[in-house]
Structure 1
Amino acid sequence: MVLVLNRSYFPEGTQGVLEWNDTLVCYTIELPWLENQSRISCIPEGKYVLQKRFSPKFKWHIHLQNVPGRDFILIHPANDARKELLGCIAPVTIQTGIGKGSGSRIALEKLKAFVYKALANNEEVKIKIQSNPSTPLRMTR
């Protein structure tokens, strides 16, 4: 299974549309692109393996494996990228502004249903992160 995250970059944050088989799963918010700097930038475009992860803070969520130069990049709930993310990806039900959204916990549950079901069937699950092909690339640097 390969989920596709199409991103649009802005100086204030990164907006995304996450799809599986050309069907919308949820929207995403992230920090702006700042050359993959730890804790202040979104991660590089590429393909990453997803795994289930549990922590006391986020409960069950999703972990992206082998992100270059980064550790513990997660998909977890957040509604404001600048205030709640340190390089991770937050699923949201709607985007309310650049790097902002709402309904993050609902969106994460929907995403986990797809991912966890595939993992339970011993499928490898990946996320392919790329620039949105229908909008011009607007990166901060």
Structure 2
Amino acid sequence: MKTLPLWRTYLPNGTRGYIEDTDNNIICHAIERAKDDPDHPCVPEGTYLCKLYQSPEHGRVFMLQDVPGRTYVEIHICEGLNGTLDYVRPAFLLGCVGLGMYECWEHGEPAVCASHEAFRRFMDYLQSDEAFYLRILELKGATT
């Protein structure tokens, strides 16, 4: 079973990162809420089994298993609040991991853009896998 790292940088108003394939190539970027968000903080560092799941809201996604104090933590496509934007800011997320092809800034917040393309690329990479491990790590010495 594959193990993919999610390398993260913690910012005051969000958590940025990127997911690598098994050859250390970036598949896509990721965004989550801030580590100290009182309602929906980013997923704690660690290794999580991710299983294919049919989400009522997002369709076919991967869901992280056994996240402490949490349920239904998905890796899914992200859209803006009106359903038409192809970027996601941490404020759009409720504890899940949003994907994008590149990092950007929207309304003064860290964001990821081209979410549809990133999600397709991520799912294509895992096309025959029903599960994988996601290892969440802090990227030391990163600058923003």
Please give the alpha-carbon distance, in whole angstroms, between the structure 2 residues aligned to 1:58 and 1:22.
Answer: 28
Q: In the alignment, what sits opposite 1:8?
A: 9
Q: How many Å apart are 1:91 and its aligned residue? A: 0.9
Identity of aligned residues (%): 26
Residue 74 of structure 1, CA deviation: 0.5
The residue that corresponds to 1:25 in the other structure is 27
**Scaled by the length of structure 2, what TM-score is found?**
0.82
Stretches (4+) displaced over 6 A: none
Specify which structure has the higher proportion of helix. Answer: 1
The whole-number CA distance in structure 2 between the counterparts of 1:55 and 1:66 is 17
Whether the 8 Å CA contact 2:33–2:91 is kept in 1: the answer is: no
Question: Could you tell me whether the CA contact under 8 Å between 2:13 and 2:33 is conserved in 1?
Answer: yes
Following superposition, the deviation at residue 92 of structure 1 comes to 0.3
- Aligned partners of 1:133 and 1:83: how far apart in 2? 25
Structure 2 vs 1, CA of residues 82 and 135 (structure 1 numbering), >3 Å: closer, same or farther? closer
- Give the letter aligned to residue 44 of structure 1: P
Corresponding residue for residue 76 of structure 2: 76
Question: What are the superposed Cα offsets for residues 65-116 of structure 1, whole Å, 9 maximum, x if unpaired?
Answer: 1101111100012232333211110110111124312111211111112223
- 1:105 corresponds in structure 2 to 116
Q: Can you give the 5+ residue segments of structure 2 that lack an aligned partner in the other structure?
A: 79-86
Unaligned stretches of 5+ residues in structure 1: none
Residues 82 and 133 (structure 1), Cα distance of their counterparts in 2 relative to 1, 3 Å cut: closer
Conserved? CA contact 1:31–1:99, under 8 Å: no
1:115 pairs with 107, 114, 126, which one? 126
Root-mean-square deviation (CA, aligned residues, Å) is 1.9
What SS does the corresponding residue of 1:106 show, helix, strand or coil? Answer: helix
Q: State the match for 1:135 in structure 2.
A: 142
Q: CA separation in 1, counterparts of 2:93 and 2:13?
A: 13
Further displaced range: 10-19 or 110-119: 110-119
Q: C-alpha distance in 2, partners of 1:23/1:80?
A: 22
